[in-house]
Structure 1
Amino acid sequence: MSEKNREGKRTARQRLAEEREKQKAADRRRRGLIIGAAVIGVLGLAAVGGVLAANSGKEDKSETSGPAVAPSGAVGKDALAIPVGKDSAKASLAVWEDFRCPACQAFEKTYRATIHELVDAGQLKVQYHLATLIDGNTRGSGSRHAANAAACAQDAGKFTAYHDVLYDNQPPETEDAFAQDAKLIDLAKKVGGLDTPAFRSCVEDGTHNTWVDKSNAAFQDGGFGGTPTVLLDGKNLIEDRSMTPAKLKQMVEAANRK
């Protein structure tokens, strides 16, 4: 392997690690704010209530509840995972992700081509679990809206392509651009055959919002350290400092030789 290639892989791993550390820092800040709010006590309740009331008016759709409508073909416990790939593949990847998460985007940029190659070869099947961690950190709703839109794309048989488009057009973490349905619908134009009345209605109605909430609750209950969490047949790839796309490919090919 050339020195240039080795340096490129180190840079990719470093970028992913840096994004995960940023997210962990944001989580720590959020926990600190929650603790601080508790200490404020009775005198702060009115002010906190005012903030909540102001935000509730801005996120009316995000506050709605109803039956959890799983997208077409969803699998697993409570049908909370979106499957990609052939059931006959001997290697299985579970990906917990948030469309607003910069570390998830870094993972995508590094491993996407390899994952697509292995899925297309029938060697790897993937289950995508959608979380809304960044919404919780920023009091936004873009993670939830984007996850709902991705579920709507699954209904249309276009999940993988739209999933990739969302990451290719991810806004800065501090900008809640995915909270705008018009933005999500506009991005659907980049996927052939997705921008239909049925898709637009699914996005605007928040058809899968409650399902997204259940998926995020499962993520929280799972005790995972953050997004992305990527498990290959139960092995956490993010915790493996030596992991590279080439190593992932070797592991998957080895599993298929068994």
Structure 2
Amino acid sequence: MSEKNREGKRNARDRLQEQRADDQRRQKRKRTAIVAGSVVGVLVVGAVIGVVVSNSGGGSVAPAVAPAGATGKDKLALPNGASDAPSTLTVYEDFRCPACAAYENELRDTIHGLQDEGQLKVEYHLVRLIDGNLGGTGSLDAANAAACAQDEGKFRAYHDVLYQNQPQENDDRFADKNHLLELAAKVPGLKTPAFTSCVKDGTYDDWVNANNKAFGAAGFNSTPTILLNGGENLLAKGQPNLTADRLKQLVTEANKGKKPGTATQGATPPSASGSPGTASGSAPAGGSPAAPQSG
């Protein structure tokens, strides 16, 4: 082979090696760029997530300020009755809801009697479905006022007064806070400066809204919704009519062989700023209540 040919092949090998070296360098730069881009992408996504969590509060947002004695998840329930009662009635209700008033007026004497005998504790969840359906703020304002009464240790009595004086469903009378204060005067010792301020300031509005949101998240869509010991809604379609006698029978069966709780007249837990409330005058139990209405 001539010297000229050997030199040509050597140059060709050199050029191929240089080309391969160049290709390797380009691939390395490409991989570096991809890795760097991925890191930047992760950082950007992390930053976006951080902003979203920051704006939404993530899991670190404190629950809404709750009334004295509130219990349960996020303190959304207002317990009424002996804490050691063998059965618990969970009630979701709206103070503007006519069906809620119908059941309250039908069952009131029976519920109070079971509470005062230490047989039953009631956990109230106050929602505002009617506000959403018809507009206005009466459900919200009445629920806030009832929560304010809880602070004074007089929830049960004021709760009953509100239902005994419920306006027509399309009349947003409970949105008038002065009217709510007038009704509070029917409960001895309730209308304190602290209660008045609580009602006017809407101290527990966020708590009521949180209750309303939790109600929907639980899959409920009508008020009242009434559960005994976490069971099926006693007012669900297909259930027997919930009369006072039936409620007493259900509680008696559930409590069979169980020791009653501490009997407490008025059945209201201790408050932060008042003494335990006493029962207001109860309307006589009438006939079967109207069917529940969706809020």
Instruction: Determine if the TM-score, normalized by the shorter chain, exceeds 0.5.
Output: yes
1:186 match? 182
> Is 1:101 matched with 2:117?
no
Structure 1 residues 1-258: aligned runs within 5 Å = 68-233=64-229, 234-239=231-236, 240-258=239-257
1:31 match? none
Partners of 1:119 and 1:182 lie apart in 2 by 31
Partners of 2:140 and 2:181 lie apart in 1 by 15
AA of the residue aligned to 2:81:
G
Partners of 1:209 and 1:192 lie apart in 2 by 24
What is the count of residue pairs matched by the alignment?
Answer: 193
The answer on whether the counterparts of 2:99 and 2:224 sit within 8 Å (CA) in structure 1 is yes
Structure 1: tracts of 5 or more residues without a match: 1-65
AA of the residue aligned to 1:244:
T
The answer on whether the counterparts of 1:142 and 1:179 sit within 8 Å (CA) in structure 2 is yes
Q: Secondary structure at the match of 1:236?
A: coil
Structure 2: tracts of 5 or more residues without a match: 1-61, 258-295
Which has the larger helix fraction? Answer: 1
The answer on whether the counterparts of 1:89 and 1:256 sit within 8 Å (CA) in structure 2 is no
Q: Secondary structure at the match of 2:91?
A: strand
Identity of aligned residues (%): 60
- CA offset at residue 249 of structure 1? 0.6
Partners of 2:73 and 2:81 lie apart in 1 by 18
Q: Secondary structure at the match of 2:89?
A: strand
The runs of at least 4 consecutive aligned structure 1 residues that moved more than 3 Å come to none
1:50 match? none
- CA offset at residue 186 of structure 1? 0.6
- CA offset at residue 212 of structure 1? 0.6
The answer on whether the counterparts of 1:142 and 1:178 sit within 8 Å (CA) in structure 2 is yes
Distance 1:253 1:200, change over 3 A: same
- CA offset at residue 225 of structure 1? 3.2
- CA offset at residue 248 of structure 1? 1.1
- CA offset at residue 174 of structure 1? 0.7
RMSD of the alignment, in Å? 1.3
2:30 match? none
What whole-Å deviation, never above 9, does each CA across 1:5-42 have from its counterpart, x for those lacking one?
xxxxxxxxxxxxxxxxxxxxxxxxxxxxxxxxxxxxxx
The answer on whether the counterparts of 2:63 and 2:74 sit within 8 Å (CA) in structure 1 is no
For CA contacts below 8 A with separation 6 or more, give which structure has more relative contact order: 2
AA of the residue aligned to 1:238:
L
Partners of 1:125 and 1:213 lie apart in 2 by 24
Partners of 2:125 and 2:150 lie apart in 1 by 13
The answer on whether the counterparts of 2:235 and 2:241 sit within 8 Å (CA) in structure 1 is no
What whole-Å deviation, never above 9, does each CA across 1:55-109 have from its counterpart, x for those lacking one?
xxxxxxxxxxx97210000000000000001121111100000000000001111
- CA offset at residue 241 of structure 1? 2.4
Q: Secondary structure at the match of 1:96?
A: strand
The answer on whether the counterparts of 1:67 and 1:210 sit within 8 Å (CA) in structure 2 is no
Q: Secondary structure at the match of 1:127?
A: strand
Higher Rg of the two aligned structures: 2
The answer on whether the counterparts of 1:123 and 1:256 sit within 8 Å (CA) in structure 2 is yes
The answer on whether the counterparts of 2:65 and 2:206 sit within 8 Å (CA) in structure 1 is yes
Distance 1:67 1:225, change over 3 A: closer
Partners of 2:170 and 2:144 lie apart in 1 by 20
Partners of 1:199 and 1:87 lie apart in 2 by 25
